[in-house]
Amino acid sequence: MSAIGVFDSGVGGLTVARELISQLPNENIVYFGDTARVPYGIKSPETVIRFSIENILFLLKQDVKLICVACNTASSFALPVIKNHFRVPIVGVISPGVREAVYATQNKRIGVIGTKGTIKSRTYETEIKQLDSQVKVTAVSCPLFVPFVEEGWLKGEVVLSVAKTYLKPLKDAQVDTVILGCTHYPLLKSVIQEVLGKGVILIDSAKQVAFEVKRILSSEDLLNRGKGGKNKFYVSDNPEWFSSLAERFIGKRLINVKKVDLT
Amino acid sequence: MSAIGVFDSGVGGLTVARELISQLPNENIVYFGDTARVPYGIKSPETVIRFSIENILFLLKQDVKLICVACNTASSFALPVIKNHFRVPIVGVISPGVREAVYATQNKRIGVIGTKGTIKSRTYETEIKQLDSQVKVTAVSCPLFVPFVEEGWLKGEVVLSVAKTYLKPLKDAQVDTVILGCTHYPLLKSVIQEVLGKGVILIDSAKQVAFEVKRILSSEDLLNRGKGGKNKFYVSDNPEWFSSLAERFIGKRLINVKKVDLT
């Protein structure tokens, strides 16, 4: 039975996989983490596009019926270019978050945080403006957040201090809604909320992405009618490292993570 | 005229290139930074070995007479395996630092800091013990140091606090000498010294690596007899990012950094 393919530069996309498993428990999921070339957030558009295409070709070989780009950097750079190149629908993580944020904001001031690549691409800003040209967008990159999450520094004075520095422009702009534009950031939600204040809505797009996948599969009559989906996890390097981090992202231990060679 | 080839996963190796340029001003240098696949410190031995071989093959095409592996992770994992595979001498960054540290220590307690890969490989420990089996080695990985350096957080409370956490085992072990086992760490020298105290000797192996290169070229009669060497810089991605960071490592602005495709 065809599966939902999901790829990310590494472990971050597991926050999306987790929502897919929760909302679509009867679907098979094939996850690919490009751990040999992680991270994508500091790399150029051309390189991220090339890596994304290679990841998609790998997933297509695994008999997938839809591909979810569970990485904001890849979604920002690659999705606009490759969206219609392949024989299956491709869903990114940008648009679902944008729709929710535009719906949620009251004062029409939205903050966006992400990797350097995501912020530089201005994809969030473009998509928000397309939905509502009145919204004022303040976008900042938070390059130390990913290393902090991967090292397990999820709270404490050090992370709080870094978060205060990064998020100051968002506070100054008095945003009432902030998009967590990187799949790692939901793990820092409590620190980010503490810095921004309780009144600010944090948008974690994983839920919305899973809704979108469900909607497409349903409208194209592609939902699995069997019971109990199976999940497979592949990486391009270091399955042990991936497994050890995975629990933090997907809420359970992953066994049988397989290494594959893309290049 | 044949050049000295230097490679690193990214910009860190420029601290070594800087010393080579200073000590061997008449040599041509070809530097390759594998910025499409940076960092190496979290990746597996097999992957780091594969990347290193690809980098060496690229440098050999540039007519080099010696290759310097200016990356501690690549030196730890790849050098023992590939040292004698190629037609030119290959110099790593581990042994020169080890020799200096064993020479410098008075109380025979040496600390080593590096990436996860470097520390996990135990290459430093093995080489130190080979020189002096009496030395007690305390080795810790400092995974947040590289992101801090690349983001320009070189001092201040946050970095100091992280450094205190990482370096506690070295203080507890009362080491009198510490090897900065990653080419990024010399940029954090003042913070590291502040945490460890003035009495502790910090070994930055770049100088020793350049001595070693000079010694080999001289003994094999390969020194350039012309005047004024030229330097070329190649990367596998993002020449602008590389250039913008380079100044911090090599002390001057780099222009004409060229992007090449390895895979």
So what's the pLDDT on residue A106?
98
Q: How many residues does chain A have?
A: 263
Task: Name the minimum distance, in Å, from the CA of A144 to any CA of chain B.
Answer: 7
* B36 vs A contacts (CB less than 8 Å): 37, 43, 47
Task: Name the minimum distance, in Å, from the CA of A108 to any CA of chain B.
Answer: 31
So what's the pLDDT on residue B255?
85
Among A204, A231, A250, the domain boundary falls at A204
Cα gap A158→A48, rounded to integer Å: 31
> Residue A256 corresponds to which tokens in the numbers above?
């049988």
pLDDT above 70: residue A216: yes
B182 among known catalytic residues: yes
For A27-65, the DSSP string reads S-EEEEE-TTT---TTS-HHHHHHHHHHHHHHHHHT-EE
CATH number at residue A72: 3.40.50.1860
Burial of residue A229 (number of CB atoms within 10 Å: 0-12, 13-18, 19+)? middle
Tens-of-pLDDT digits for all 263 residues of chain B? 799 999 999 999 999 999 999 999 999 999 999 999 999 999 999 999 999 999 999 999 999 999 999 999 999 999 999 988 999 999 999 999 999 999 999 999 999 999 999 999 999 999 999 999 999 999 999 999 999 999 999 999 999 999 999 999 999 999 999 999 999 999 999 999 999 999 999 999 899 999 999 999 999 999 999 888 999 999 999 999 999 999 989 988 898 899 999 86
- Residue B211 shares a structural domain with residue B88: yes
- Residue B82 shares a structural domain with residue B182: no
Cα gap B188→B200, rounded to integer Å: 15
* A10 vs B contacts (CB less than 8 Å): none
8 Å CB contact of A151 and B144 = yes
> Residue A70 corresponds to which tokens in the numbers above?
């569970």
- Residue B159 shares a structural domain with residue B236: no
Nearest Cα residue to A27 out of A258, A210, A209:
A210
B18 CB near a chain A CB, below 8 Å? no
For B171-229, the DSSP string reads HHTT-SEEEE-STTGGGGHHHHHHHH-TTSEEE-THHHHHHHHHHHHHHTT----SSS-
- Residue A149 shares a structural domain with residue A185: yes
- Residue A170 shares a structural domain with residue A192: yes
Specify the pTM: 0.94
So what's the pLDDT on residue B44?
96
Cα gap A11→B131, rounded to integer Å: 40
Domain of residue A149: give its range: 94-204
Cβ neighbours, 10 Å, residue A200: 18
So what's the pLDDT on residue A263?
67
- Residue B86 shares a structural domain with residue B123: no
> Residue B165 corresponds to which tokens in the numbers above?
């956490």
The per-residue pLDDT of chain A, averaged, comes to 96
Among A188, A204, A220, the domain boundary falls at A204
Confirm if A185 and A144 have CB atoms less than 8 A apart: no
Q: Is A54 left (phi over 0), alpha (psi -120 to 50) or beta?
A: alpha
Amino acid at the residue A19: E
A152 CB near a chain B CB, below 8 Å? no
- Residue B133 shares a structural domain with residue B161: yes
Pairing verdict, β B231-235 and B136-141: unpaired
So what's the pLDDT on residue A79?
95
> Residue B225 corresponds to which tokens in the numbers above?
């007899």
Query: Taking each helix axis from N to C terminus, what angle separates A239-250 and A14-23, rounded to the nearest 10 degrees?
Result: 50
Nearest Cα residue to A209 out of A178, A183, A176, A234:
A183
Preceding amide of B143 cis, omega within 30: no
User: Which residues fall within 8 angstroms of residue B51, CB to CB, at 6 or more apart?
Assistant: B9, B34, B37, B40, B43, B74
**Per-residue pLDDT tens over the stretch B238-247:** 999 999 999 9
Among B184, B204, B224, the domain boundary falls at B204
Report the alpha-carbon angle B113-B39-A59, nearest 5. Answer: 140
Residues above pLDDT 90, as percent of chain A: 93
* B46 vs A contacts (CB less than 8 Å): 237
**Per-residue pLDDT tens over the stretch A54-78:** 999 999 999 999 999 999 999 999 9
- Residue B107 shares a structural domain with residue B54: no
- Residue A242 shares a structural domain with residue A193: no
Radius of gyration of chain B (CA): 18
- Residue A102 shares a structural domain with residue A167: yes
Nearest Cα residue to A81 out of A122, A53, A112:
A53
Residue of B nearest to A146 (CA): B147
> Residue B150 corresponds to which tokens in the numbers above?
């690349």
Nearest to A43 among B36, B46, B150 (CB): B36
Amino acid at the residue A263: T
Report the alpha-carbon angle B149-A179-B245, nearest 5. Answer: 20
So what's the pLDDT on residue B121?
96
Cα gap B245→A143, rounded to integer Å: 14
So what's the pLDDT on residue B150?
93
Cα gap B108→B104, rounded to integer Å: 9
B68 among known catalytic residues: no
| Residue whose entry in the numeric block shows the structure tokens 């926050």 | A15
Beta strands in chain B (DSSP E): 3-8, 29-33, 64-69, 90-91, 109-114, 136-141, 177-180, 201-203, 231-235, 258-259
- Would you give the end-to-end CA distance of chain A in angstroms? 27
Reported as a pLDDT band with limits 50, 70 and 90, residue A163 is very high
The total number of structural domains in chain B stands at 2
Amino acid at the residue B95: S
8 Å CB contact of B148 and A148 = no
- Residue A111 shares a structural domain with residue A29: no
